Structure 1
Amino acid sequence: MRIKRVIIIIGLALLVVAAVTGFLFFGPATKATADGFFYVKSGSTLADVKKELVAQQVLNGTGLFSTVSNMAGYEQVKPGRYKIPSGTSIVNLVRLLKNGRQTPVSFVITKLRTTENLASRINKHFEIDSLAVIHFVADSLQPYGLDSNTYMAMVMPYTYDINWTAGPRTIFDQFYKAYETYWNDDRKAKASAKGFTPLQIVTLASIVEEETRDNAEKPNIASVYINRYRKNMLLQADPTVKFALKDFGLRRILHGHLKAVSPYNTYQNKGLPPGPICTPSLESIDAVLNAPETEYIYFVANSDFKGSHIFTTNYTDHLKYAKLFQDELTRRTKAKQAAADSTAAQ
């Protein structure tokens, strides 16, 4: 009876040990980071990974992690961005890191204007340094048939799933693939029918994008610039002056601004600028591709300041509506200054 009792006690003890061990190995062990991801930088060692797991408070300690890593043969570190939910077990954590099952970054392209803007955005979301992006744009665009002036045309306004560790070539390959997919035979035919290449369409669309947020007005604005281009007129697009000056906060283009020396200044240079002045939305590209045939040559913001424009076919009418807008702008500016002065005097 005593032997049987001892055997039962030993058996129960072994079950307890097994249960505790199982819980330690397979039970919840991690805490989530602030953004839910754990980052392993390129060149990291296993010691670096352990240090970061504690530093980012994913684990309180790495003793058990080391044990499981040894048992699993986790030695070769794979850099990446890993989603580690709170309560992940040690076993699953080691498996995740060992297998390199990183979660891609959902990289959203919205309006960008300069290489520096793009480089900064990429640096914010990926491991890559912004200078590496700038150097890539300067030296490595030849395979795409584009250059530092034109490459923005291929940075389409999509969401791209790209690994955090991706280099500039991988990222730009994704851009180019999307660009090639967008410019199917049907869209190329539409561009050709209007007398433009896809690159020229995107360049025009970038100007339309900067002129208005109203998608309903974009086709008519596109028709104005298409008509000026066909008549060999100066495009005289204010957004190109802002781009030439790299002053995107300008609210009022003055005569002095129009003299800016730059191939992008369409008040000084006929034809299209050397490339897009921003990454246009799909609505703006479609507005150019599907621009109606009009006789509009001019447009000016409506003096009611509701965001719409008045389109005209002759300069006399244009000047009339332009004066109404400028007079109202001056009135509003003075009223705002008077209100500020009154507040300061109180």
Structure 2
Amino acid sequence: MSFKKIFLLVIALGLIIGAYFAYTIYAAFFTTNTNFDEAKEIVYIKSDASFNDVLTQLNPLLKDVDAFESAAHKKGYASNVKAGKYILEKGMNNNAIINTLRSKNVPVKLAFNNQETLEDLAGRVASQIEADSISLLNAFNDSEFLKQNNFNLDTKLAMYIPNSYEFFWNTSAIKFRDRMLKEYQRFWNEQRLAKAQNLKMTPIEVATLASIVHKETAKVDERPRVAGVYLNRLRDGMLLQADPTVIYALKLHSGDFNQVIKRVLYRDLELDSPFNTYKYGGLPPGPIAMPDITAIDAVLNSEKHDYFYFVANVENFGYHKFAKNLAQHNRNKEQYVRWINSQNINR
């Protein structure tokens, strides 16, 4: 065989081999490799996940796991797994899947409302991000953190402003807590701080009163009026005599925050607790629940009036009847007592 023929044969063989490798690489990276019918699949990769964990997790979603594994090694993803929430789309190839898992961590909308306790908050948050409730609670109760930021065991609930926030799913407990501190500081802007100062109150004191207002009425439009009542009583040195504080004191005393108390009894008013505003003057030591923004702003923008008393309005459920003096209040109260007795509500 002539040298020319050998040369051409070598070239042809090289082209065949090159074409094979090119096809293999193309197939490994650019051939569709999803195995699900829905338009999208969400994948959550934990912070401690290994590449083998990722393979196990993706196995039901891929047509060819081996091809994905090979591509992942070639692109360096196998040795650099990223935690987070990722969205895989139907028809993706390995190249697109790896690029997504490497750089497209999708934020989650995390929301919480007026939680009763930090234990409740920890449970609520843990259902939305990777951090578990125990690690969250430990972060919330970190004594050094509380001290450094002028909170204590009674006031710590005031730091968490109920709202919707954007987080990465793999946010740690400490990073969540620290972000909440920043949100608290952002919430208490110059305008709100000035309004609190006009009331001669600190943000924590405003949150404490707001928690009582929140518990007294779910009607947002009524909260500024209720707040005005309590501010009037504080101004005149009267006891707040707020039933929600007694209910909180009872739960705190029993250690059972899940119990339902629909009626405050006269004997309950004697409970010796700094949270019992029938027994102790001024505000309680801290919030009795996590007030929402409308309750906080209701205190800061309270209605100016001469009311000092209110009781549930049985003619317009959810709202209250307000009174300027005790005689008027007692008449309103008699109507309420008759109604609650008729309902056989003993506790």
TM-score, structure 1 as length reference: 0.84
**Residue 333 of structure 2, aligned match among 322, 326, 332:** 322
Amino acid of the structure 2 residue aligned with 1:92: A
Structure-2 residue corresponding to 1:68 = 71
Deviation for aligned residue 1:30: 4.6
In structure 1, the partner of 2:202 is 197
Query: Is residue 2:75 matched to residue 1:87?
Result: no
2:33 and 2:64 in contact (8 A); partners too: no
Aligned Cα RMSD in Å?
2.8
1:338 corresponds in structure 2 to none
| Separation in structure 1 between the aligned mates of residue 331 and residue 39 of structure 2, nearest angstrom | 57
Does the Cα contact within 8 Å between 1:137 and 1:148 map onto a contact in 2? no
Contact 2:139–2:177 (CA under 8 A) maintained in structure 1: no
CA offset at residue 206 of structure 1?
Answer: 1.1
Indicate the SS of the match to 2:221: coil
Structure 1 residue aligned with 2:240 = 235
How many angstroms apart in 2 are the aligned matches of 1:22 and 1:98? Answer: 20
1:96 aligns to 2:100 (yes or no): yes
Residues 39, 90 of structure 2: 8 Å contact kept: no
CA distance in 2, matches of 1:63, 1:132: 37
Shift of 1:166: 1.6
CA distance in structure 2 between the partners assigned to 1:33 and 1:136 by the alignment: 38
Amino acid at match of 2:52: A
Deviation, structure 1 residue 49 = 0.8
- Indicate conservation of the 8 Å contact 1:187/1:289, yes or no: yes
1-side partners of 2:280 and 2:63: how far apart? 64
Confirm or deny: 8 A CA contact 2:45 2:85 kept in the other structure.
Answer: yes
Out of 303, 309, 312, the residue aligned to residue 301 of structure 1 is: 312
Question: Aligned partners of 2:336 and 2:291: how far apart in 1?
Answer: 27
Query: Which amino acid in the other structure matches residue 189 of structure 1?
Result: A
Report the number of matched residues. Answer: 321
**1: distance between equivalents of 2:328 and 2:40?**
56
Question: 1: distance between equivalents of 2:271 and 2:108?
Answer: 40
Task: Give, in angstroms, the shift of residue 311 of structure 1.
Answer: 0.6
The answer on 1:284 being equivalent to 2:295 is yes
- Summarize the alignment of residues 43-192 of structure 1 with structure 2, pairs less than 5 Å apart: 43-54=48-59, 57-74=60-77, 75-99=79-103, 101-139=104-142, 140-192=145-197
- Taking structure 1 as reference, are residues 257 and 90 closer, same or farther at Cα in structure 2, changes over 3 Å only? farther
Partners of 1:133 and 1:39 in 2: CA distance: 19
Amino acid of the structure 1 residue aligned with 2:309: Y
- C-alpha separation between the residues in 2 aligned to 1:262 and 1:89? 64
Range with greater deviation from structure 2 (249-258 or 32-41): 32-41
Deviations 1:23-81 (A, max 9, x none): 97342515389994211112221111101112xx3225511111111221211212222
Q: Which amino acid aligns with 2:328?
A: D
8 Å contact from structure 1 (residues 25, 89) kept in 2: yes
> Could you list the per-position Cα deviations for residues 107-157 of structure 1 after superposition, in whole angstroms to 9, with x for gaps in the alignment?
112111101101111211122121112222222323322223222222112
Cα distance in 1, alignment partners of residues 98 and 304 from structure 2: 63
Instruction: Provide the C-alpha distance between the structure 2 equivalents of 1:232 and 1:133, rounded to a whole number of angstroms.
Output: 39
SS at match of 2:61: coil
One-letter code aligned to 1:91 = N
For residues 96 and 32 of structure 1, do their structure 2 counterparts lie closer, same or farther at Cα, with a shift above 3 Å needed? Answer: farther
Amino acid aligned to 2:100: L
Task: State the distance in 1 between where 2:219 and 2:135 align.
Answer: 36
Structure 1 stretches lacking a partner, 5+ long: 1-6, 335-346
Call closer, same or farther: CA 1:96–1:258 in 2, change over 3 Å. Answer: same
Question: Residue 268 of structure 1: CA displacement?
Answer: 2.3
Change (3 A) 1:19 1:123: same
Runs of at least 5 residues in structure 2 that lack an aligned partner in the other structure: 1-11, 252-256
Paired residues of 1:157 and 1:280 also in contact (CA < 8 A): yes
* Residue matched to 1:3: none
Q: Which amino acid aligns with 1:128?
A: A
The alignment status of 1:250 with 2:253, answered yes or no, reads no
Checking the alignment, whether the CA contact within 8 Å between 2:28 and 2:71 is kept in structure 1 is no
| Identity over aligned pairs, percent | 33
- 2:315 matched to 1:312? no
User: Aligned AA for 1:193?
Assistant: N
- Is contact 2:115-2:121 (8 Å) kept? yes
